[in-house]
Structure 1
């Protein structure tokens, strides 16, 4: 079960995209799409489709399997499965499909539903996970260009997972971030500077966190110390 706000965002996707009905016959390139692939996406109701039913379609959608309206039909279920990694296709591929389908030209309510979902997903991720996901963070940024919302949701609290994710970002990704300014993840210059400033402002939490965890969680305290070292020598 997802948190209530994320559940509402997913239900909103289903509602907004419900006007795109399932075609009885979806055209696929005979070299890339088998009859079995076609049968799988018609085998169950949309909400009941699983990884084994949708993975092949999600990988080939619009390029060699169906059109944009077909993709819109399956999109709510694809995104729902993607949240907890229950789809055999990466975030990069699915976000790339949105770009390929020119989602920023879709109906305003469709764009809004996707954006609401993406930010609810990010908030859910910050509360549940314990590592920084490049593909998710930069993918949402590339789709929305809203660094302010991403960082506003990422409230670094030293007693919550948001802090653990921040430690991982500094320890394992910060060096790459600052060394790839001209080619990093399609950042606009002003948004790159905002993210850099935010990263530096939250370093104080590393210092506070180290002393908090020094005795109760020595392994994590070492990771915080390593993150401080990375920051200080970058």
Structure 2
């Protein structure tokens, strides 16, 4: 984990510390069992595990608790999302922010979430070995700041940022360049900026091919195919 992400996670805990834990959090009896309730009461906030919080995260605000309850657990939920293979999907977790109308929350809370999302994105693009399309879409929607996301996607060969670029172009470029079904939740302006940035960075592919030609022949072949994608469009 980068120092930046650590700082923003700590900032989440500090920002949302004003929302105290309630001894009783009401939940729909058809959806939330006593066992489910026991799990979120079993430990201190920072000690709650993926298993402890997965059910709550999926049901938060819809059938279990209110916005203040969600804000109490939010720092730990986002920490688990960004540092573990959290059981609950990114789409559901970040969708809860939209459901809770986070853009109407206090300004410092919005800022803390935005900074966390940017820091997490910077971590993902450099350290995850395949492009996380779901996280990219959801973070783009929430921050509405594609320029900032692309600024943090500096491409080099010392981490996974180049491999993620290749994976992105190989998997999504044709869709982004035409139908945009994989990007339908993003505005045309945002998609146009992503497409422009992707094309501008394409000159690194030739250098990348020679960088990996002897190290990883399969990946070098993928880079070659990615180059061809640009040539034929």
Calculate the TM-score normalised by the size of structure 1: 0.95
Is this contact kept in 1: 2:127–2:159, CA < 8 A? no
Counterpart-to-counterpart distance in 1, 2:193 and 2:161: 18
C-alpha displacement of 1:182: 7.3
Counterpart-to-counterpart distance in 2, 1:158 and 1:202: 14
Counterpart-to-counterpart distance in 2, 1:118 and 1:63: 23
Cross-structure match for 1:202: 201
Deviation digits for residues 166-215 of structure 1 (CA, Å, limit 9, x no counterpart): 00001112122223347724222222211110000111111121122222
User: Larger deviation: 179-188 or 113-122?
Assistant: 179-188
Cross-structure match for 1:140: 139
Counterpart-to-counterpart distance in 1, 2:181 and 2:25: 42
Counterpart-to-counterpart distance in 1, 2:194 and 2:82: 24
> Relative to 1, partners in 2 of residues 1:3 and 1:159: Cα closer, same or farther, differing over 3 Å?
closer
Runs of 4+ in structure 1 deviating by more than 4 angstroms, as ranges, are: none
C-alpha displacement of 1:116: 0.5
> Relative to 1, partners in 2 of residues 1:219 and 1:86: Cα closer, same or farther, differing over 3 Å?
closer
- Which segments of 5 or more consecutive residues in structure 2 lack a partner in the other structure? none
Is this contact kept in 1: 2:175–2:181, CA < 8 A? no
Counterpart-to-counterpart distance in 1, 2:168 and 2:213: 20
C-alpha displacement of 1:41: 0.5
C-alpha displacement of 1:5: 1.3
Cross-structure match for 1:4: 3
C-alpha displacement of 1:159: 4.1
Aligned length, in residue pairs: 233
- Is 1:231 equivalent to 2:227 in the alignment? no
Calculate the TM-score normalised by the size of structure 2: 0.95
> Relative to 1, partners in 2 of residues 1:160 and 1:106: Cα closer, same or farther, differing over 3 Å?
same
Is this contact kept in 2: 1:158–1:205, CA < 8 A? no
Is this contact kept in 2: 1:54–1:87, CA < 8 A? no
Cross-structure match for 1:95: 94
- Mapping of residues 82-231 of structure 1, within 5 Å: 82-181=81-180, 184-231=183-230
Cross-structure match for 2:52: 53
User: Larger deviation: 188-197 or 18-27?
Assistant: 188-197
> Relative to 1, partners in 2 of residues 1:204 and 1:159: Cα closer, same or farther, differing over 3 Å?
farther
- Which segments of 5 or more consecutive residues in structure 1 lack a partner in the other structure? none
Is this contact kept in 1: 2:209–2:224, CA < 8 A? yes
User: Larger deviation: 39-48 or 180-189?
Assistant: 180-189
Q: Secondary structure at the match of 2:150?
A: helix
Is this contact kept in 1: 2:213–2:220, CA < 8 A? yes
Counterpart-to-counterpart distance in 1, 2:71 and 2:194: 32
Deviation digits for residues 75-102 of structure 1 (CA, Å, limit 9, x no counterpart): 0000000113342100000111000000
